[in-house]
Amino acid sequence: MPLKRVTIDRWWETYKKGDKPTVVVLTGAGISAESGLSTFRDSGGLWEKYPVYKVATPEAWQANPELVLEFYNKRRAQLKDVEPNAAHFALKEMESWADVLIITQNVDNLHERAGSRYVLHLHGELTKVRSEKDENLIYEIGYEPISLGMTAEDGAQLRPHVVWFGELVPMIEPAIALTEKADAFLIIGTSLVVYPAAGLIDYVPEKAPIVVVDPKQPAVPPTAKVHYIAEPATTGTPKAIEYLKERLLRD
Ligand code: APR
């Protein structure tokens, strides 16, 4: 059966600040850790088991596309068996008093499955694939595997709709524009070592509070003033939201 072609909902092109405060949230692998998805750089993380250069670069795709597909097929199959956690749901609930704009580095769909309205995927999405020749030919694959020989309508091999190391990050421009609109910036579960995502913090308006939730303090620039909650996402996120509610609704 042919795959369903999809277009990405570019909500960020029409988003306008309204009466509610705008809270921009940058999430990384740590927010999904308690759902059962491995992070990348913690001990036992994905890059320890699968070296990046073998599975997540254009060179890897040229050298051994089967291995690359297998890596992402496993990630997709695993995603089917996990659920959003209390941190994802807390962000959804925050929509009752704030415009919650989520910029995620994650390729999972747990924010969407928790019901979040505004999600921008900086590094792509596991449940989508695309033509290796034409980045606009994108298809929904759900949790199914792809194999060599499966092609897009232009006849080109299908590849994961993810950003590999060494590739451009086209979504960084809208992500910067959203960050510049932030009344507050909330960072959850990212080591902040991968650019350009890690550089978003430089675009947070001066008077917007920055809150970080992570059991290990990530690489925040020394000049940034942050309120740091040293806890896992499921317990730290509700506390971060309470803190922001108090700050933003009081001002
Ligand atoms: N709750 C919150 N944070 C957690 C938890 C948890 N339960 N468990 C781990 N963390 C934190 C770690 O302390 C670390 O700071 O999550 C972070 C995970 O960091 P990385 O593994 O580097 O993941 P991430 O920052 O998302 O990686 C960025 O790198 O490999 C690429 O494209 C990939 O999008 C990914 C990008």
Note the pLDDT tens digit of each residue in 60-116: 999 999 999 999 999 999 999 999 999 999 999 999 999 999 999 999 999 999 999
Tell me, in angstroms, the distance from the centre of ligand 1 to residue 27's CA.
8
Residue 250 is predicted with a pLDDT of 83
Q: What percent of the chain has pLDDT over 90?
A: 90
Residue 50 is predicted with a pLDDT of 86
Q: What is the 3-state secondary structure (H, E, C) of the chain?
A: CCCEEECCCCHHHCCCCCCCCEEEEEECCHHHHCCCCCCCCCCCCHHHHCCHHHHCCHHHHHHCHHHHHHHHHHHHHHHHCCCCCHHHHHHHHHHHCCEEEEEECCCCCHHHHHCCCEEEECCEEEEEEEECCCCCCEEECCCCCCCCCCECCCCCEEEEEECCCCCCCCCHHHHHHHHCCCCEEEEECCCCCCCCHHHHHHHCCCCCCEEEECCCCCCCCCCCCEEEECCCHHHHHHHHHHHHHHHHHHC
Residue 48 is predicted with a pLDDT of 84
Q: Which atom of ligand 1 is nearest to the CA of 122?
A: 34
pTM of the model: 0.97
pLDDT of 1 > 80? The answer is no
What are the φ/ψ torsions at residue 103 (nearest 5 degrees)? -105, 110
Catalytic residue among 88, 111, 121, 123: 123
Distances (CA, A) of 159 to 72, 127, 153: 10, 11, 13
Q: Which of 40, 121, 171 to mutate to test the pocket of ligand 1 (most atoms within 8 A of CB)?
A: 40
Would residue 88 show up in a list of annotated catalytic residues for this protein?
Answer: no
Q: What would the pLDDT profile of 144-155 be if each residue is shown by its tens digit?
A: 999 999 999 999
- Compute the C-alpha angle 211/216/217, nearest 5°: 50
Residue 15 is predicted with a pLDDT of 97
Q: Specify the pairing of strand 158-162 against strand 124-131.
A: antiparallel
Q: What would the pLDDT profile of 240-249 be if each residue is shown by its tens digit?
A: 999 999 999 9
Residue 180 is predicted with a pLDDT of 98
Q: Which atom of ligand 1 is nearest to the CA of 45?
A: 21
Two tokens at 116? 């979040």
Rounded to an integer, the average pLDDT of 127-142 is 97
pLDDT of 196 > 80? The answer is yes
Rounded to an integer, the average pLDDT of 184-213 is 97
Q: Which of 34, 38, 39 to mutate to test the pocket of ligand 1 (most atoms within 8 A of CB)?
A: 39
251: confidence class by pLDDT, cuts 50, 70, 90: low
Q: Which of 53, 88, 125, 194 to mutate to test the pocket of ligand 1 (most atoms within 8 A of CB)?
A: 194
CATH class belonging to 4-9+20-45+81-250: alpha beta
pLDDT of 44 > 90? The answer is no
pLDDT of 122 > 70? The answer is yes
Residue nearest to atom 36 of ligand 1 (CA): 194
Tell me, in angstroms, the distance from the centre of ligand 1 to residue 189's CA.
5
Residue 33 is predicted with a pLDDT of 97
Residues 6+ apart with CB under 8 A from 56: 50, 68, 71, 162, 164, 165
Return d(Cα 248, Cα 186) in angstroms, integer: 13
Tell me, in angstroms, the distance from the centre of ligand 1 to residue 29's CA.
4
Tell me, in angstroms, the distance from the centre of ligand 1 to residue 40's CA.
6
Return d(Cα 13, Cα 16) in angstroms, integer: 9
46: confidence class by pLDDT, cuts 50, 70, 90: confident
| Cβ neighbours of 45 (radius 10 Å) | 15
Q: Which atom of ligand 1 is nearest to the CA of 27?
A: 26
Residue nearest to atom 7 of ligand 1 (CA): 232
Q: Specify the pairing of strand 184-188 against strand 22-27.
A: parallel
**Would you say 105 and 29 are in contact if contact means Cβ atoms under 8 Å apart?**
yes
222: confidence class by pLDDT, cuts 50, 70, 90: confident
Return d(Cα 208, Cα 117) in angstroms, integer: 22
